[in-house]
Amino acid sequence: KPPMLLFSCAVSSAQAPASVPPNDWAHTVKLNNGVAMPLISLGTWQYSPAVAESTVRLGLSLGYNHIDAALDYKNQRSVGKALAEHDRASYFLTTKVPSRTSASSAFADTSKDLAADLEQLGLSYVDLMLVHFPPVGNTLHCAAMQEQWRALETFYRAKKARAIGVSNYCQSSLRCIARAANVTPAVNQIKYHIGMGPDPIGLRSYGDRLGIVTQAYSPLGDGTGELISGALVTGIGAKHNKSGAQVSLRWVVGHGVPVSTKSTSASLEAEDVPQGIHVPQPALERHVNPLSSAVFRCLHWIPLRCIHALLSVRCTVPSSRPDVGAFSSA
């Protein structure tokens, strides 16, 4: 998740009115267990402990009420210091645990990671706990994935998380845990931005059918300025006195997809979603960015259908693969 602009939550969607006051952070998405998740979250990936603390403190002072963290970010103690300055009910906290590959130890190891998240953050509960990614090999380690999900369900039943979900899971990952799950993941946090189309590899619509909210990270792409300063988005933005990044962010939110993004700049954190801007969705969806294809850290049921690249795996979803297992609502 590279550095990104942040913006106040002012969107036109089923969850929010078309016009709201600046810096109104109250818009939420209802998860499948009834929990209201704020639409915009402030990320902390790749920050040193000091930068993470100052960024979270700044974001909360500006009115952000959703912070995104992870055990693997190695800065949660500093995030917790900033959170400690605010009433616990005033913010929504998402964090994550890494994947596990051993079925015999996945439950115990994940339980330790869950406890470490709480200890490092200085909290008695989190609002949303995610499995950060499926293991390399994905469903080759299905039993371990199921045991890890069982640990999250136990954590959830103990009221240490208000909701649980996954990140970077594709259809085969979800089918795997569904065979043993008692609780449906509330969220699947995936890469989602212009150039991927509104339903990359059919994953968003698949989640919709299961009641799983798709949340976007990398809404401005990966390692490219095309969705910030490219001709298409800046051309649209110029017509409305908005930046190219605002157009790109508006495309994501315009599809009703919650966003996790990040910045250490006060001016960028306070930047608003453009109101009344016309974003020609078909033109944006046809826009092809060489780095914007649908890549998830997921290996499908036939391993040779996928190729490894930079710790990620690009997958082609087999159209004939039947769904296996069924989730029940939390």
Instruction: Provide the pLDDT confidence category of residue 88 given band limits of 50, 70 and 90.
Output: very high
Q: Which of 49-53, 143-147, 223-227, 277-281 has the lowest mean pLDDT?
A: 277-281
Q: What is the 3-state secondary structure (H, E, C) of 55-101?
A: HHHHHHHHCCCEEECCHHHCCHHHHHHHHCCCCHHHCEEEEEECCCC
Residue 130 clears pLDDT 50, i.e. is over it: yes
Spatial distance between the Cα atoms of 133 and 316, rounded to a whole number of angstroms: 18
Please report which helix (H) or strand (E) contains residue 217, including its range: strand 213-217
Q: Are 204 and 212 in contact (CB under 8 A)?
A: no
Q: Where are the beta strands (DSSP E) in 26-184?
A: 28-30, 36-38, 40-43, 66-68, 92-97, 126-131, 161-167
Is the confidence at residue 207, as pLDDT, over 60? Answer: yes
The arithmetic mean of pLDDT across residues 185-214, rounded, is 93
CB 23 within 8 A of CB 62: yes
CA–CA separation, 173 and 177 (whole Å): 7
* Mean pLDDT score of the chain: 79
Share of the chain above pLDDT 90, in %: 52
Which helix (H) or strand (E) is 235 found in, with range? helix 231-238
Q: What was the pLDDT predicted at 274?
A: 52
Q: Tell me, what's the pLDDT at 220?
A: 84
Q: Which two tokens stand for residue 213?
A: 């909210």
Active site residues: 73
